[in-house]
Amino acid sequence: MSFLDRIAAAIAPAATDEQRMEARRQLEQLAVNEPFAQDILDQHRQIESLFQQAREDAGMDAEAIIEELALLLNAHSMAEEAVVYPEISDHSGKAHAGMAYEEHAMTKVQLAALQKLEPGTKEWREKLDHIESAVLQHVYQEESSWLPDVIRYAPMAERQRMSMEYRDYFERVDQS
């Protein structure tokens, strides 16, 4: 854990598994008629699954799994940044949006570093664990407050626009 990671952990301790599960349960209820939020939740589940698969198969398949994870995270983050984060800035706070953009950028940097390491090595596993921990905390922040704030406070027309644009943006980036 880096010095900055230790400071961040002291300021905002990582959510527990129970807190993450409760936040997800509550967001699932709020997202019933919010396709953009349902898409994001589905992608969060896929991301978590890919982390699990990479950890379980740290052999030759791990490279392909990490490549798939990187592609999914990139498409997911670009769609959120283009469509959802401006609404987070307006309805949950500019600091939240700023933090979200920065966390996405750092995850991309860390994933690129992971892809240079030999799968299954101690260094690779530590890097994978570090990235997963950061991503899980980011997902928790989105699911516990940022996305619920958008659902609660953004006008219906904005949420409908987000739902159409999010899926379209994600699919265009995911296929490139």
- Given this model, what pLDDT does residue 166 score? 97
pTM attached to this predicted model: 0.90
pLDDT at residue 10 tops 70: no
Domain boundaries, the chain: 34-175
Does residue 12 register a pLDDT over 80?
no
Nearest alpha carbon to residue 148 among 80, 94, 96, 88? 88
Q: How do residues 108-133 score in pLDDT, each as one tens digit?
A: 999 999 999 999 899 999 999 999 99
Whether residue 160 contacts residue 87, with contact meaning beta carbons closer than 8 Å, is answered with: no
Q: Does domain 34-175 have CATH number 2.10.69.10?
A: no
Contact of 146 with 59, CB cutoff 8 Å: no
Mean pLDDT of the chain: 91
Q: Sign of the C-alpha dihedral, residues 127, 54, 42, 16?
A: negative
Q: Tell me the C-alpha to C-alpha distance, in Å, between residue 172 and each of 30, 50, 75, 105.
A: 27, 21, 8, 20
CA neighbor of 27 nearest in space, from 112, 150, 172: 150
How many whole angstroms separate alpha carbon 138 and alpha carbon 104?
9
